[in-house]
């Protein structure tokens, strides 16, 4: 990859002098934002910085064992301390998101900060609010990108076992265990270097994927048997969950992670959605195969964004109305969906 040398110089300069450095993860944190943030945190601490990781809300249980996770500062639980850290930061690293709005609770504080702002991210269409942007959409994950930056900046040997565990979790979760967004050999080359530090990838996989509570597993069953709608002519399948469903299955944050992928794994389905009823909104998770851009759909219609094949957004209508709106939108996208389906399956066969 061709990372501009002046960006690498900039990174080297930023980390060479001890400073107050704030690392920020996005709202509803996933394995990649937490993995990349914690890996950078471990690196910065080792280099003598006063570093902190600020996360808008609590990460899901299946990430809470990660090295350093007990030191994460959760803004929702301690906003005063969070604000203090933003105010006293010399530089702020934005990990795995590209717009201040993605931290939800402290966007304004980030925008108002005079700290040096550095973006490390792989999402489409970054905002123009950073002093330096490492914005590379071709990589699997921000964790992969961070490894490449560290290596290019000459810190390859500083990548410790605990940093590797964090980075591996980012790559593994953002590629669905190496099943999508992983066609570049570089992703595996980086992964091989992480494995060489002695991490136990079988154990890491178990810690993330084999730690379902019974109620989470039953919620998945409910999604697939009672809440799945398939629209074969549009190559679309979606799942919806009401607040009552969540309550009945003792929903914990992270319990719906991965659910949308089941809809996408149905034969001849190339667009999948999960609608989850929250207190004040309907949360959308969108996934696609092939050229159909869910980033565009989420940006245009659901106040969201993401990647071409994985995006999220919100609807402020009722569940019933949101589903009706979504189905009528599908009619607008009908030709594109049909075309995508044909194209995708002719290539896949
Ligand atoms: P998920 O469906 O797993 O919540 O999100 C899928 C992808 O879209 C992730 O890469 C996530 O960072 C991004 N994403 C999710 N929600 C939003 C949103 O509201 N706005 C933007 N810009 N990106 C989002
Ligand atoms: Mn990511």
Q: 19 and 82: one domain?
A: yes
| Cβ atoms within 10 Å, residue 106 | 22
Q: 125 and 221: one domain?
A: no
Q: 179 and 238: one domain?
A: no
Query: So what's the pLDDT on residue 3?
Result: 64
Judge contact between 11 and 151, C-beta under 8 A. no
Query: So what's the pLDDT on residue 349?
Result: 40
Query: So what's the pLDDT on residue 217?
Result: 98
CA of residue 276 to ligand 1 center, whole Å: 14
Domain end position, chosen among 180, 209, 238:
209
Atom of ligand 1 lying closest to residue 97 CA: 12
Q: 116 and 22: one domain?
A: yes
**Which of helix, strand or coil describes residue 259?**
helix
Tokens standing for 99?
């717009």
User: Which residue owns the Cα nearest ligand 1 atom 2?
Assistant: 285
Distance CA 298, CA 305 (A): 5
Q: Residue 147 CA to chain centroid, in angstroms?
A: 17
Q: 267 and 333: one domain?
A: yes
Q: How does pLDDT run across 257-283, given as a tens digit for each residue? A: 999 999 999 999 999 999 999 999 999
Q: Which residue's structure tokens are 């973006």?
A: 119
What string of DSSP letters covers 128-173? S--SEEEE-SSSS-HHHHHHHHHHHTT-GGG--HHHHHHHHHHHHH
Q: 53 and 140: one domain?
A: yes
Question: Looking at the 3D structure of the chain, how many domains does it have?
Answer: 2
Query: So what's the pLDDT on residue 346?
Result: 72
Environment class of residue 53 by beta-carbon count within 10 Å: exposed (0-12), middle (13-18) or buried (19+)?
buried
Residue ranges around ligand 1 (CB below 6 Å): 102, 285, 304-307, 310-313
User: What does DSSP assign to residue 58?
Assistant: P
- What CATH number corresponds to the domain at position 310? 3.10.310.30
> For the chain (length 349 residues), average pLDDT per consecutive 10?
76 96 98 99 98 98 97 98 98 98 98 98 96 96 98 97 98 97 97 98 98 97 98 97 98 96 96 97 97 97 96 98 98 94 70
Distance CA 58, CA 74 (A): 6
324 backbone dihedrals φ, ψ, rounded to 5°: -65, -45
User: Which residue owns the Cα nearest ligand 1 atom 20?
Assistant: 304
> Within 13 A of 205's CA, how many CA atoms are on the CB side?
9
By residue range, what is the domain housing residue 112? 5-209
Ligand at minimal distance from the CA of 99 is: 1
Ligand at minimal distance from the CA of 124 is: 1
Atom of ligand 1 lying closest to residue 257 CA: 3
CA of residue 259 to ligand 1 center, whole Å: 15
Distance CA 238, CA 204 (A): 30
CA of residue 301 to ligand 1 center, whole Å: 14
Domain end position, chosen among 160, 189, 209:
209
Distance CA 126, CA 294 (A): 16
Q: Residue 154 CA to chain centroid, in angstroms?
A: 27
Query: So what's the pLDDT on residue 4?
Result: 67
CA of residue 13 to ligand 1 center, whole Å: 31
Query: So what's the pLDDT on residue 343?
Result: 82
Judge contact between 202 and 304, C-beta under 8 A. no
Q: 95 and 186: one domain?
A: yes
Q: 188 and 167: one domain?
A: yes
Query: So what's the pLDDT on residue 25?
Result: 98
Q: 175 and 284: one domain?
A: no
Q: 125 and 250: one domain?
A: no
- What CATH number corresponds to the domain at position 10? 3.90.1640.10
Query: So what's the pLDDT on residue 2?
Result: 58
Domain end position, chosen among 187, 209, 231:
209
Q: 193 and 237: one domain?
A: no
Q: How does pLDDT run across 30-62, given as a tens digit for each residue? A: 999 999 999 999 999 999 999 999 999 999 999
Q: 202 and 270: one domain?
A: no
Atom of ligand 1 lying closest to residue 314 CA: 19
CA of residue 320 to ligand 2 center, whole Å: 30
User: Which residue owns the Cα nearest ligand 1 atom 7?
Assistant: 311
CA of residue 180 to ligand 2 center, whole Å: 12
């Amino acid at each position: 990859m061709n990372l501009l040398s002046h960006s690498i110089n900039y990174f080297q300069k930023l980390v060479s002098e001890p400073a107050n450095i704030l690392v920020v993860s996005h709202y509803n944190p996933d394995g990649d934002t937490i993995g990349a943030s914690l890996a950078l945190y471990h690196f910065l601490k080792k280099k003598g910085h006063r570093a902190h990781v600020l996360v808008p809300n609590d990460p899901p249980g299946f990430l809470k064992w990660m090295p350093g996770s007990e030191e994460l500062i959760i803004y929702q639980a301690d906003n005063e301390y969070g604000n203090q850290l933003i105010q006293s930061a010399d530089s702020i690293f934005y990990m795995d998101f590209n717009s201040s709005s993605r931290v939800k609770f402290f966007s304004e504080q980030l925008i108002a900060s005079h700290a040096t702002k550095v973006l490390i991210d792989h999402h489409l269409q970054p905002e123009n609010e950073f002093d330096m942007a490492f914005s590379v959409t071709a990589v699997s994950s921000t964790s992969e990108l961070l490894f490449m930056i560290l290596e290019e900046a000459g810190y390859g040997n500083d990548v410790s076992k605990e940093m590797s565990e964090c980075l591996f979790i980012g790559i593994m979760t953002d590629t669905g265990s190496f099943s999508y967004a992983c066609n570049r050999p570089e992703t595996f080359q980086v992964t091989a270097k992480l494995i060489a530090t002695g991490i136990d990838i079988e154990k890491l996989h178990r810690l993330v994927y084999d730690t379902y509570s019974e109620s989470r597993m039953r919620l998945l069953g409910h999604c697939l048997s009672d809440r799945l709608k398939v629209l074969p002519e549009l190559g679309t399948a979606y799942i919806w969950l009401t607040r009552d469903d969540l309550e009945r299955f003792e929903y914990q944050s992270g319990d719906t992670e991965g659910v949308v992928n089941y809809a996408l794994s149905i034969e001849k389905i190339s667009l999948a959605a999960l609608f989850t009823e929250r207190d004040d909104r309907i949360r959308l998770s969108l996934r696609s195969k092939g050229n159909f851009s869910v980033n565009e759909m989420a940006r245009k219609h659901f106040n969201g964004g993401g990647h071409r094949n994985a995006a999220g957004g919100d609807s402020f209508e009722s569940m019933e109305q949101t589903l009706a709106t979504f189905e009528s939108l599908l009619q607008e996208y009908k030709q594109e969906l049909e075309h995508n389906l044909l194209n995708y399956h002719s290539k896949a066969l």
